[in-house]
Each structure stands twice: as C-alpha cells, then as structure tokens.
C-alpha cells in the first residue's frame, strides 16, 4: 500500500518535470513524471534532493499537491534564504530532472472511508495537502461535507485561488486575510481566532475530522482552540512546515 514504507526503506528515483505552473508571484506547482511511483494518498509528502556539481546536496520535504490517482505534483513557495526553493521556483523548467523519494506519511491522509464532516484549516502554503484532500473528495464523488478556512496575507497570496473558488456549493471555502483586504472584501480579516472558528467550525457534537496545516505557531493555536471547543485530540490532525 502506498505510504506504508518509511524513509529508510524508500529509494531515490529520478523524476522528470512534466510541467511548471505559476500559482502566485512566489509559488509554483511542479508536475512530476515518475515511472516507478507506487501511487500516493491525499495528505502524504515526498522528499526532493538537489545535488550541486561539487557534490553538495540538500534535501527538503514537500506535501504532495495532487489527489489519489493523479500524477504526483508538489507546490513550492520561494524562501529567500532557502537552499532548495529558489531553484525550484525560479530556475526549474519542464524537462529538467529531480531526485525524489516517497510517498511518505500516513497520519495526515484522508479518504472517503475516514468520514467527516471535514474541517480543513490552512495557513499560507499549508493549503497544499488540504487542496489534495479536496481534490480527492471531489474525484471520488464523496458527499461528505467539507469546509476550508484559508488564512493568507493578502488576496494575491492565495494559492490555487481559481481552483478553490470553483467549488461553489460542493465544499465551503472561506478566506481570512491577515495583512490587507481589497475594497469591498466580504471574507474574514485577521488571524484565526476562537470567534472566527465559531462561525466556520462544525459543532463538536457532529464529530468532525479536522486537518490543520501551516507554520507551527498557527497550527498549535488552532489545534488548541478546536480541542477547547470539544474536538477530541484524535480527530484533530496537524502538519507543520518549515524552511526550504
């Protein structure tokens, strides 16, 4: 089964870049062609390794942006002090090659058999695995109710905005903008807090399944608020990201 292996049992393989899509000024989605890919589950991640001509190598882990059954892809945000992300977001082109290892991790995965309702909460590029979950829900024909609350600095920083806005009534997608809001903005403003969760979160009595991904302080704050609201800790799944 995909994802049952741990890093120590996985081998590196060469992936060809099938396509590169610019999501925002600093974010790219990279579609990969992996002939030996065993398949993945929404919410898993993979490792990328870059090796310089002098032999120095750098590895980073990225959430898989695609749903079960889709070709593997990753979405990368450029970090100015990163070792890997500047190359992936500025220099990489279709036809180039990368070393990849995965899929990795089962804790943060979701499938229709896991139930719901689903509460997905993202901070910045933490939306990547949650996008994969939404895509899998849509592709599988699941009718499990789903809500996404996406915290972003500004509207232009929202990743996958066109795709997320297409869900309409099939999944509720709400944004909160923490730095600036455009004129006539009708979404949330500011950081995610208990009052905001009170307007978006499913009642604990419905036994929702929550997935939270983003910077560590964001994830810990939101997870604590949900547990305080009565969500069992076992129903609150978290994933944190760091530098790249």
| pLDDT band at residue 8 under the 50/70/90 scheme | low
Mean pLDDT for the stretch of residues 109-131: 96
**Spatial separation of the C-alpha atoms in residues 134 and 111, rounded to whole Å:** 10
pLDDT at 3: 38
- pLDDT at position 165: 94
Do 37 and 101 meet the contact criterion of CB atoms below 8 Å apart?
no
Distance CA 20, CA 68 (A): 20
So what's the pLDDT on residue 54? 81
What pLDDT is stored for residue 172 in this prediction? 95
Q: Which residues, 6+ apart, have CB-to-CB distance to 145 below 8 Å?
A: 116, 117, 118, 202
Average pLDDT of the residues in 30-41: 94
Mean pLDDT on 123-134 = 97
189, pLDDT greater than 90: yes
Instruction: Give yes or no for residue 5 having a pLDDT over 50.
Output: no
Average per-residue pLDDT for the chain: 93
Q: Give pLDDT, residue 7.
A: 56
pLDDT tens-digit series, residues 42-90? 999 999 999 887 878 899 999 999 999 999 999 999 998 888 999 999 9
Handedness of CA 172, 176, 182, 185 (dihedral sign): positive
Question: How large a percentage of the chain has pLDDT more than 70?
Answer: 95
8 A C-beta contact, residue 133 and residue 110: yes
pLDDT of residue 6: 53
Residue 48's pLDDT is: 96
User: What is the structure's pLDDT at 242?
Assistant: 56
Q: Regarding predicted confidence, which is higher, 52 or 204? A: 204
Band the pLDDT of 243: cuts 50, 70, 90: very low
- Contact criterion met (CB below 8 Å) for 99 and 32: no
What does the pLDDT read at residue 52? 81
Domains of the chain from N-terminus onward: 7-104 (2.40.30.10), 112-240 (3.40.50.80)
């Amino acid at each position: 089964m995909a994802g049952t292996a741990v890093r120590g049992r996985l081998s590196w393989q060469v992936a060809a870049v099938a396509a590169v899509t610019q999501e925002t000024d600093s974010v790219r989605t990279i579609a990969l062609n992996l002939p030996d890919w065993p398949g993945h589950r929404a919410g898993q991640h993979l490792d990328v390794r870059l090796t310089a001509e002098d032999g120095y190598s750098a590895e980073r882990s990225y959430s898989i942006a695609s749903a079960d059954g889709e070709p593997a892809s990753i979405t990368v945000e450029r970090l100015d002090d990163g070792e890997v992300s500047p190359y992936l977001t500025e220099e990489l082109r279709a036809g180039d090659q990368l070393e990849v290892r995965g899929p990795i991790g089962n804790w943060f995965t979701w499938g229709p058999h896991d139930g719901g309702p689903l509460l997905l909460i993202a901070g910045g590029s933490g939306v990547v695995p949650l996008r994969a979950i939404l895509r899998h829900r849509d592709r599988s024909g699941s009718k499990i109710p789903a809500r996404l609350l996406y915290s972003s600095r500004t509207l232009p920083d929202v990743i996958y905005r066109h795709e997320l806005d297409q869900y309409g009534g099939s999944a509720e997608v709400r944004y909160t903008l923490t730095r600036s809001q455009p004129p006539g903005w009708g979404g949330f403003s500011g950081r995610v807090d208990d009052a905001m969760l009170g307007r978006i979160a499913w009642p604990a009595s419905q036994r929702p399944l929550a997935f939270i991904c983003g910077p560590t302080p964001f994830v810990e704050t939101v997870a604590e608020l949900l547990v305080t609201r009565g969500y069992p800790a076992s129903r609150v799944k978290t994933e944190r990201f760091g530098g790249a």
